[in-house]
Every structure is written in structure tokens, then in C-alpha cells.
């Protein structure tokens, strides 16, 4: 399992990639849509894992 720091780093990388994709000319192509969805989905998975780790470490 990845450490929280690794997950945070990956989340930041994904956020940059998402911004880069959004900054590009909107592309209706299947490849663009697929890549955007992959980045978006992975970003949410990473954020969920971070939240899960935080919950475990912050338990009283």
C-alpha cells in the first residue's frame, strides 16, 4: 500500500494533467475523452484512499 505522501504526490500530478487536458483545445475525440476520464477517475480513487488513510490515523 502506498504511503499518504505518495498518494498526495500522485493526486497533484493528476490534477496538473487534468488542468493540462482542460487547457488544451476541447477535443471531442474518443482518445481525449478516454484519457480525461482515466485521469478524473484515478484522481478520485487517490483522493478516496487519502481520506481513508486520514480516517484511520485520526481515530480517537
Tell which residue, 15, 20, 24, has the closest CA to residue 42.
15
Contact by Cβ (8 Å): 6, 49: no
Q: How many domains does the chain have?
A: 1
| Cell numbers found for residue 30 | 474518443
User: Whole domain around residue 42: which residue ranges?
Assistant: 4-57
Neighbours of 50 (CB within 10 A): 17
The yes-or-no verdict on residue 43 having pLDDT over 70 is yes
In this prediction, residue 57 has a pLDDT band, given cuts at 50, 70 and 90, of confident
Average pLDDT, the chain: 85
Contact by Cβ (8 Å): 10, 46: yes
This prediction's pTM: 0.65
Average pLDDT over residues 23-39: 81
What local confidence, expressed as pLDDT, does residue 47 receive?
92
Amino acid at each position: 500500500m502506498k504511503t499518504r505522501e505518495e498518494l498526495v504526490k500522485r493526486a497533484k500530478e493528476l490534477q496538473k494533467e487534468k488542468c493540462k487536458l482542460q487547457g488544451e483545445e476541447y477535443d471531442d475525440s474518443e482518445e481525449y475523452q478516454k484519457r480525461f476520464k482515466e485521469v478524473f477517475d484515478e484522481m478520485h480513487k487517490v483522493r478516496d484512499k487519502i481520506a481513508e488513510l486520514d480516517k484511520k490515523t485520526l481515530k480517537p
